[in-house]
Amino acid sequence: MRRHARLLRTLLVLVALMVALSIVSQAVYGPWLRRTADALVLSSPILSYRYPGVYEGSAHVGHVAAKVRVTLGSQGITAIEFLQRPLGNMDPLIAEVVRTGSVLVDAVTGATISQKVTLKAIDNALMQQHP
């Protein structure tokens, strides 16, 4: 009986420690993750989408990562395929980027970290263009 009580006490201490570490990590890591994602800069001007081809780009902030393959036609972005997909539904964002032909879409206002990382991955792919 005594052994079970000691084991139970040890388990409770471990659970309490895990909860405490989780709270501390969220208090530190969460704000850092948001600040870092907010600092991502989209660099590819729409005028530079003039070299048809297939380009790959990736981006990550902390544990959130995206890798994409962007297809450019003579009229702009024709397709975007995920090689590594972040959490969340990115389909509406991808549809908007293809529709507008730009990473500078209105969805950025209030965008999630996953959306910002996805846009930066697309941006990085577009920056790979060369004649």
Domain extents in the chain: 46-126
- Indicate whether 105 pLDDT > 90: no
- Indicate whether 46 pLDDT > 80: no
Could you give the percent of the chain with pLDDT greater than 90?
A: 40
pLDDT in tens, 5-32: 888 899 999 998 898 888 877 777 788 8
pTM score, two decimals? 0.76
- Indicate whether 109 pLDDT > 60: no
The pLDDT value recorded for residue 123 is 92
Instruction: Return the residue matching tokens 């890591």.
Output: 29
Q: In terms of Cα–Cα distance, which of 74, 83, 93, 75 is closest to 125?
A: 83
The set of residues, in sequence order, having a beta carbon less than 8 Å from that of 61 and lying 6+ positions away, is: 33, 36, 37, 40, 113, 116, 117
Contact 68, 118 (CB under 8 A): yes
pLDDT in tens, 63-94: 999 999 999 988 889 999 999 999 989 999 99
Contact 86, 118 (CB under 8 A): yes
